[in-house]
Structure 1
Amino acid sequence: MPAPANSAVFTVPFEDNRVSGAPTYLESQVLSQADKYEALTSTLDGKFIIASTAFNKEGTSENPGLDVLNTLVYWPASAPGQARVMSPSTRGGITSSRDLREKIVTAIDSYGRQAQGTPSPATSYFQVEALTTAPDGTLLMGIRKYGKDSKTATFSFLLLSVPLIEHEGGLELGNTFKVVLNLTPDELARRLSLPDGSLPELGLSGMEFDRHNKDRFYAVTSFETGDVIGGYLWMLPLDNGIIGPPQPVSGKDAMPVKFANKPEGVEVLDQHHVLVVHDDDRVKVKLAQSAGVREDYEFNYSVITIP
């Protein structure tokens, strides 16, 4: 993992479904200024990489430092030094995408009013954890938690869609976000149908379009309760442009595949392999292949074979 002085964004060689070398850090002032990256994807043609921070806090006009947590950034795949902030605005010398906050909140609250039929508490807090491009020319942004504030926010599997316009030399977003899917932890737990029926609250933690099979997305959810962590892999069918409800990916025993680590990212490697990257935070999970535990500077990953 990166040393404190390095960029938070890096690449690693990956061959035969294994990491095969040391990381190469992507150096860019724009990439270095943004903080708390939570999601990363690429355009379907592979020309641009897009990354999002958490958007879970915001600065003020007097102290705009936390605006760096509200950044959507993109760069040509072969030129990270040309990284730019998407939907940029600047205050106090800090350029970020904080103006997207109002559009995201408006979409969530408008959906809530339509779904419930009655006014609901205004959303002031949300946390972005997933990002993927879609074949209909949109960018999907996944929300792990949202609510009135950070203490009362509830976990979710909420997907927002916004047009993504690719023009010569760059990308820009459309003006309107809309909710295309919203599931609660209880709804997710019922889909798992685990024998004991008990499950900590699940929240969305990563998602990616399957550009090889072209008929599905894969997503990961995770939970963290004290020192107990884990998560699941899901497949979301795509039929005539409509995203279907997530279905848990099951193993040979017909039970949903459960990770002992905390999944935070997912990538589709080819038609039959999905990569899941874990971030266990402060929890020290014992490594299955040895008597040791993961160190602070290490991460675990899984490669799942899909028949």
Structure 2
Amino acid sequence: MRKISTCLFIPLATLIFCQCRTARPLSAPVARIATEGFITCFEPGLADGKTWCEASAVLAQGERIYLANDKDMPAPRSSVFYINWQKDSTTRTGLDPDSPVYLDQPVLRLAHKFEEFAQSPNHKWTFLTTAFDRIKPGSADFDGYNMLLAWHPGQEGNVQLVGAGNDENASLDLRKQLQQALGGSAYFKVEGLAATNTHLWFGVREQGEHFDKFDYRITLLKAKYRTQDGASIRKNVLLDKPVFVRNFDVTDVDAALPKPLAISSIEYDPHRRCFWLLTSFEQGEKIGAYLWVISEKGIKNNGNLQLIRTQDGKPLTFNHKAEDMTFTDHNTLFIIHDDDRVRTHIGPLERQPNQAAYSVVKIQ
């Protein structure tokens, strides 16, 4: 396992990334993988190895790293949990990976297939979305796959359901609106969620006729949100209808990149006023991912995604299916990987069913 080293960021690198704040394109973004490891999500041997940790969402908040599994967990565990994390620690990135604490709010147990956390830059709201990838007309069986949740940081006991109509126990109104914004597609899958102080941004990874007949996408939607003080908990966060923003094509960016690549995460960077995106691919047992960046003005002005590269000019490459990311400081991204049931490796260590891989990326 690589060890974290202290990074000294020279003024030139600062100037390079300050270009995110302007209309000019980014110039040769550079980053490196500082360390990688495994997080223990639950005890070994659970359900005789039939249950795997497929962590798909992550959020650094205070001295906790929150994670969510896109598979249901056997009671009394839940699919949303946190591990303790000491930001200033120099050992194993400060993680205490063997002590998950499961959140037991009932609504978290009703939701299925979590995909991404997001936090508003003003730290007033935490958001968590499911995939919105299935529905059963005339039945509530799949309603739990259609939930957007919100709460004030540290107040997980007051989880709110966003985008639900009257007397709905899921975000079914939001699902209809997402579908409309995507041109009425019968099937779609949300894997990205980012928050500014005014808007939620959704990343759509799959879109098509059916769950086994679709195209991989890097598609962005956005919706304005606001709060209604004094309203009931259910209606405290109000969301406008999502609108289509962009569909990105990265086919010709670098001949070395595998195809197709599809979005697996989007993160807003209030420090640079940029959006960071993860794209990943799945080819049987072969999986991988890449990191990209684009300014807000770049999105509005038909700019291109900029591929993050290493110091030697090669694409920064993850040998895992990167699923979500969170900033732990202005220049550090903590990335969680959902490797499905592939036994990936970090050095001599092989991933076990109760583990999820992570990477720490230093922006230089």
Out of 239, 243, 247, the position equivalent to 1:178 is 243
Check if 1:126 corresponds to 2:188.
yes
Q: Spell out, residue by residue over 1:224-250, the C-alpha distance to the aligned partner (whole angstroms, 9 max, x if none).
A: 111110010111222398374321110
Structure with the bigger RCO (C-alpha within 8 Å, sep 6+) is 2
In structure 2, do the counterparts of structure 1 residues 210 and 33 end up closer, same or farther at CA, with 3 Å as the change threshold? same
Output the CA distance in 1 between the equivalents of 2:175 and 2:226.
19
Output the CA distance in 1 between the equivalents of 2:208 and 2:296.
28
Give aligned pairs, total: 281
| 2:239 partner letter | L
In structure 2, do the counterparts of structure 1 residues 241 and 154 end up closer, same or farther at CA, with 3 Å as the change threshold? closer
Question: How far 1:144 sits from its partner (Å)?
Answer: 0.5
User: TM-score scaled by structure 2?
Assistant: 0.73
| 1:30 partner letter | V
After superposition, where does 1:138-149 map in structure 2 within 5 Å?
138-149=199-210
- The worse-fitting range, judged by mean Cα deviation, of 34-43 and 198-207 is 198-207
Check if 1:206 corresponds to 2:253.
no
Aligned residue in 2 for 1:28: 105
Q: Which runs of 5+ in 1 are unaligned?
A: 110-121
Aligned residue in 1 for 2:82: 11
User: TM-score scaled by structure 1?
Assistant: 0.86
After superposition, where does 1:51-62 map in structure 2 within 5 Å?
51-61=128-138
Q: Please give the secondary structure, in 1, of the residue aligned with 2:109.
A: helix
Q: Spell out, residue by residue over 1:277-306, the C-alpha distance to the aligned partner (whole angstroms, 9 max, x if none).
A: 111001111222x2x310111011111111
Runs (4+) off by over 6 Å: none
Aligned residue in 2 for 1:85: 161
Question: How far 1:8 sits from its partner (Å)?
Answer: 1.0
Output the CA distance in 2 between the equivalents of 1:38 and 1:242.
26
Out of 194, 213, 232, the position equivalent to 2:255 is 194
Aligned residue in 2 for 1:112: none
After superposition, where does 1:1-307 map in structure 2 within 5 Å?
1-2=41-42, 4-5=74-75, 6-15=77-86, 16=89, 17-21=93-97, 22-61=99-138, 63-89=139-165, 95-109=169-183, 122-135=184-197, 137-168=198-229, 170-174=236-240, 176-183=241-248, 187-191=249-253, 193-195=254-256, 199-211=258-270, 213-239=271-297, 242=300, 244-288=303-347, 290=348, 292-307=349-364
Q: Is the CA contact (8 Å cut-off) linking 2:165 and 2:171 kept in structure 1?
A: yes
Question: How far 1:171 sits from its partner (Å)?
Answer: 1.4
- The worse-fitting range, judged by mean Cα deviation, of 164-173 and 202-211 is 164-173
